[in-house]
A = this chain, B = another copy of it.
Amino acid sequence: MSLPHALLGLLAEQPASGYDLLKRFESGLAVVWPAQKSQVYGELAKLSEKGLIEVTGTGARQRREYGITEAGRAELRGWLTEPGTDFAFRSAALLRVFFLWTLSREEGVDYLENFARINRERLAALEAVRDNAEWVGDPVQICGWLILEYGLRGSTTSAEWADWAAERLTEHL
């Protein structure tokens, strides 16, 4: 159950509407946790029912702004500090690699080269984010910076691995 906690985390920083939250997902959070609008609006309703967030104001175009409650902050804290934390991750792109032996060598190598290319594109995009940001050093931004660095290191590692894997496939298949 991560989406509700992601919303609580964003609202812990400042009040926001569903629309605002969706934009903040797209620019940043979506890299590690994508979310659809129907799901965000649905979760906001549930969180509100549970008293973890509350409507703090309304605006033009039936805008409804939510803020986190004390109960919400406690829930967020629990999620961040509980010991049995979920480290599972899923990647369809890696799953495919298990089955590359069913293709020809050329097709397999193509797949891995594409894998490398996608990761280099992502790396370039993240470098642009890093270079264009103004680093003021508030705690929120620092955590974003940590994730950004993870992205930089991770896409580099992935791209290099895919190059290596393409060579191994060429050699051994």
Contact = CB atoms under 8 A, between A and B. Distances in A.
A-side interface mostly: helix
Interface residues of A, number: 62
A147 B97 contact: yes
A83 to B, nearest CB: 9
B172 A161 contact: no
A77 B103 contact: yes
Interface of A: 2, 5-6, 9, 12, 28-29, 32-34, 73, 76-77, 79-81, 85-103, 107, 111, 114, 118, 137, 139-140, 142-147, 149-150, 153-154, 157-158, 160-161, 164-165, 168-169, 172-173
Given A29-B98, A80-B100, A86-B93, 16 more contacts: A2-B90, A2-B92, A2-B95, A6-B95, A9-B102, A32-B91, A32-B98, A80-B96, A94-B150, A97-B146, A99-B143, A101-B143, A142-B168, A146-B169, A149-B165, A154-B154
